[in-house]
Amino acid sequence: MAYLEWLRERVGTRKVLLVYTSAVVEDGHGRVLWQHRTDFDTWGLPGGVLELEESLPACAVREVHEETGLRVTPTRVVGVYSSPDYDVTYPNGDQVQQISFCFACRVEGGRLQADGREGRTLQWLPASQCPPTLPWYQAMLADLNANQPFASFNRGAPGQNRAAVPYYQYLRQHIGQAPYIMAGAVAFIQNEAGHILLQQRRDNGLWCFPGGGVELGERVEQAMIQEVWEETGLQVQPSRVIGVYSDPVDRITYPNGDQVKIARTFFACHITGGRLQADAVESLDARFFAPDGLPQMIVPHGRPLQDALANHPYTVF
């Protein structure tokens, strides 16, 4: 059973956070592939909901093949789109706050054919031309044309407030300890000496980058800023997206038995204020470490650490 179908059987039409991928498929001649969506009767980019067992780029590849018949390879991360401006209610009443990861993709093969289920027709259009479409697709095309090496992350207005009840508590009422897909946001923070900020987790005693889950009503970087403040006492601002991650190691079972799959956005940040102090709730300790003297970290943060230290001139995936 597909993840979305499984989740809706348990939560009904209530608003949920869903992780999507969208693909800007380019043909090498300055054109982008659009599909005429059957649900909203307007044009959109190929894409869909992330499944529990797949990575973000694999999701983009699968969705493009299912909807257009083309085989593609992702080439870069265009952006992460999570503003409440992009909340959507589908014609069947399902409510969603979307966290959409958009990839630019090149065509490797296949035969162009609309699936007739999610898309009626397909059309190549110049990258400078945006057909009648939904706001998040407009933002994706604008970011594609901006051609920046790092992923966009602050399109759409920020949310005003976090929901009163943490999202995981809200969702666990309906799904118990079963795995769900969580959008996570974590921070790479260095002081003037180049030392790296880590927090020691209360649940397992290991060290990790500060961060946490995205809540209903906030953008991904807002979640990161809020979590860093709560866990370490520091105020930070993001400067770029180091990488986006959804590898097998991001499928986690917590000590209490709760299961989760995390689609993580990793931000490079600079400190703007505050005073370093662990919250003693989620964090036992918070301190800066020299890059060559790091403590044992949780496994899912191993690859992000390598990417941060490598200082790639683009967002990795």
Shared domain check, 142 and 20:
yes
Rounded-to-integer distance, Cα 214 and Cα 153, Å: 13
Cα 9 to the chain's mean position, in Å?
A: 24
Shared domain check, 189 and 133:
no
pLDDT at 65 over 90: yes
Assigned domain for 167 exists: no
pLDDT at 186 over 90: yes
Global confidence as pTM: 0.96
Assign residue 26 the CATH number of its domain.
3.90.79.10
pLDDT digits 0-9 by tens, 30-45: 999 999 999 999 999 9
Assigned domain for 155 exists: no
pLDDT digits 0-9 by tens, 254-281: 999 999 999 999 999 999 999 999 988 8
Assigned domain for 316 exists: no
* Number of Cβ atoms within 10 Å of the Cβ of 17: 21
Shared domain check, 44 and 129:
yes
pLDDT at 162 over 90: no
Assigned domain for 64 exists: yes
Tokens read off for 184? 């996570």
Assigned domain for 151 exists: no
The domain tally of the chain equals 2
The boundaries of the domain holding residue 131 are: 15-146
User: Please, which pLDDT band fits residue 160 given cuts at 50, 70 and 90?
Assistant: confident
Which letter does DSSP use for residue 152 in this model? Answer: B
Shared domain check, 248 and 126:
no
